[in-house]
Amino acid sequence: MKKTILLAGIVLAAIALNAQEGDLLSLLGEEEETTDYTTASFKTNRVVNLHSLENTAAGVLDVKISHRFGTLNGGTYELFGLDNATIRIGADFGVTDRLTVGLGRSSFQKTYDGFLKYKFLRQSTGKRVMPVTAALFASTAVQTLKWQNPDRENYFSSRMYHTFQLILGRKFSEGLSLQLSPTLVHRNLVETSAERNDVLALGTAGRIKLSKRVALNAEYIYVLPDQLAPGFRNSFSIGFDIETGGHVFQLHFTNSTSMIEK
C-alpha cells in the first residue's frame, strides 16, 4: 500500500513538473509583439522646396544655410548664375519627435518666415500597422521690400503669405520613398485682378537611395489653372542629398527662386 501511494506521488510530481516546464517554455516563446516605426524616409526634413515627411528630432536645433544661384544661361558674364545668388538662413527645432518649429530669413524679397509641422501619423508595422506617414504643416512669411508706391496707404498685412499643407507619404522600401503635399497658399495682396488670393496646388516628391550616403530627390508642384498671372511655370526640382558624417549637403537644380512655400 505504501509503495502504491509513493508511486502515485512520484507520477503526480512528474506530471506537475512537466506542466510547469511547458508553461515556462510557452512564456519564453511568446514574446509580446511590438510596433516598429519607419525611419529615414528622406535624409532631411526638406526635399527641395517642399517639406518632407521627416521632423527634426526632439531637443535638436538644426541650422540650415541655403544658397540658390541664378540661371546657368548667363554664361561667364554672370559666372553661370553665381552673381545672382540668393541665400536663406534658417533654424529648425524639434519640440518633440512629432512637432517641429522653425524660423528663417531669405535675401530674396527680404523675406522672414516661420513654420510649424506636426506629424500625427507614423508609418509602422507589427502590433500597430499604419501604411503611411502624415503631417500637418503651416507657415507664415513676411516680405520686407520697400513699397513700390510709398505715397498710397499701405498695410503691413499686405506683406504676408500663409501656407497650409497636408503631407502624406510612404517609404516603400529602403531605396524608395514617395509623398504628396496638397497645398493652400493665401496671399493677402496680389499684383493684378487676374490673380487669386487663395492658390491651390499639389506637390509631389520622391527619393531614390543610390548608395549608403547618396540619394536622388525630385519634386514637382502643380498649381491649378487660372489662379496666377499668365506665364507662370510650375516648380520642378531635382538633385542629390549627400550625407557626410552628421551633415547632409543638398545639391539641386530648380526653376524656383524662392526657397520657401509662398
Instruction: Map residue 230 onto helix, strand or coil.
Output: coil
- The pLDDT value recorded for residue 262 is 77
- In this prediction the pTM is 0.83
**Residue 25 domain boundaries:** 1-31
User: Lowest-confidence range among 126-140, 160-174, 237-251?
Assistant: 237-251
Residues 6+ apart with CB under 8 A from 127: 33, 34, 35
Average pLDDT, stretch 93-108? 96
Host H or E run for residue 180:
strand 176-187
- The pLDDT value recorded for residue 7 is 43
Q: Residue 120 maps to which CATH number? A: 2.40.160.40
Contact 219, 49 (CB under 8 A): yes
| Neighbour tally for 156: CB within 10 Å | 9
Residue 260 belongs to a domain? no
User: Is 68 found in the same domain as 2?
Assistant: no
User: Is 90 found in the same domain as 14?
Assistant: no
Q: C-alpha cell of 158? A: 499686405
Residue 17 has pLDDT above 50, yes or no: no
Host H or E run for residue 12:
helix 2-29
User: Is 189 found in the same domain as 74?
Assistant: yes
- The pLDDT value recorded for residue 26 is 52
- The pLDDT value recorded for residue 6 is 42
Contact 51, 167 (CB under 8 A): yes
Q: C-alpha cell of 202? A: 499639389
Residue 261 belongs to a domain? no
- The pLDDT value recorded for residue 47 is 96
pLDDT tens per residue across span 160-180:
999 999 999 999 999 999 999
pLDDT tens per residue across span 171-221:
999 999 999 999 999 999 888 888 899 999 999 999 999 999 999 999 999
Split at pLDDT 50, 70, 90, the class of 29 is: low
User: Is 25 found in the same domain as 124?
Assistant: no
| Neighbour tally for 258: CB within 10 Å | 20
Q: What percent of the chain has pLDDT over 70?
A: 88
Contact 44, 52 (CB under 8 A): yes
Choose among 212, 186, 210: nearest CA to 199.
Answer: 186
Select the more confidently predicted residue: 22 or 207.
207
User: Is 97 found in the same domain as 1?
Assistant: no
Among all chains, which residue has been given the C-alpha cell 499686405?
158
User: Is 233 found in the same domain as 145?
Assistant: yes
User: Is 8 found in the same domain as 97?
Assistant: no
